[in-house]
Copies of this chain bind each other. A is one copy, B any other.
Amino acid sequence: MHPNRVHDLDFAQVDIGREQRQGLPEAVYGPGKTPAQIRAIVTELLRDNTGPVLVTRVDAETATDVLAHVPGGTYDALAGLLLWRRPAEPVGFALTVVSGGTSDWSVAAEASAVATAVGLTVTTVHDVGVAGLQRVLRVREQLRASDTVVVVAGMEGALASVVGGLVGCPVIAVPVSTGYGASLEGITALLAMHASCAAGITVVNIDSGFGAAMAAHRLAWAGRRRP
């Protein structure tokens, strides 16, 4: 299979070669697509790829429609994720998803669901706000045992700095658009995570649990290639 192979569906050019290039079929971003378009793209991907096929940010109604036409899939309502096929076996990569408050739940759910779908072993820890520091300190060893930690936090995003100082493994920070006023719909958390005093933290887009999971997949995929 050629790494540059493309299926032309007129409304979409399905990147069939991505699985060979990056170890994972192209993931489909749901918003703005009709159920019919999603069905067509998913059908292409299932036929010509062998790995998990994902559609993100799908509402329940669309999910029901698509699942009725493309059998074998499942829907995770909290994460908004449609999924066909899981990896044959987990890749043996321990990911911990830590979130700062119950408001961050749905973003953490997307990160967890996508990461699980692509074969990572995911543990989640909720409500680890830095205003009660003992909550993060009591899971310190669990964080340190992870291959990677995803930190999901809105408001001021300080949890990323705190976790970044506790562990030596990669920390992927996800700013969340919760909060009000000076939170600026996640912009403040995004900026604060970039300005963090903890060295080597990386950041993905606001609310992008998907992006964090895909970044973790890149780590796992690259790690597996190495002898």
Which chain A residues have a beta carbon within 8 Å of chain B's beta carbons? Answer: 4-6, 10-13, 15, 17-18, 21-24, 26-27, 29, 31-33, 37, 100-103, 105, 126-135, 137-138, 144, 147-148, 154-158, 161-162, 164-172, 175, 177-184, 186, 188-208, 210-211, 213-219, 221-223, 225-226
Q: Quick one: given A102-B11, A181-B186, A223-B226, are A202 and B200 in contact (CB under 8 Å)?
A: no
Q: Is the CB of A129 within 8 A of B197?
A: yes
Give, as a whole number of angstroms, the nearest-CB distance from A56 to chain B: 10
Q: Quick one: given A177-B181, A206-B182, are A131 and B198 in contact (CB under 8 Å)?
A: yes
Q: Is the CB of B204 within 8 A of A168?
A: no
Subset of 15 A-B contacts with CB under 8 Å: A6-B135, A17-B134, A21-B165, A37-B102, A129-B165, A130-B197, A156-B157, A168-B221, A170-B218, A172-B202, A181-B205, A192-B192, A199-B211, A200-B217, A219-B222
Give, as a whole number of angstroms, the nearest-CB distance from A164 to chain B: 6
With a CB–CB cut-off of 8 A, which chain B residues contact A204? 194, 201-203
Give, as a whole number of angstroms, the nearest-CB distance from A91 to chain B: 11
With a CB–CB cut-off of 8 A, which chain B residues contact A186? 181
- Choose among B10, B22, B130, B201 the residue that contacts A126 (Cβ–Cβ < 8 A): B10
- Choose among B21, B29, B147, B203 the residue that contacts A167 (Cβ–Cβ < 8 A): B21
Give, as a whole number of angstroms, the nearest-CB distance from A15 to chain B: 4
**Bound Cα distance from A194 to B27, whole angstroms:** 17
- Choose among B171, B178, B194, B216 the residue that contacts A190 (Cβ–Cβ < 8 A): B194
Q: Is the CB of B226 within 8 A of A32?
A: no
Q: Is the CB of A205 within 8 A of B192?
A: no
With a CB–CB cut-off of 8 A, which chain B residues contact A26? 132
With a CB–CB cut-off of 8 A, which chain B residues contact A105? 11, 32
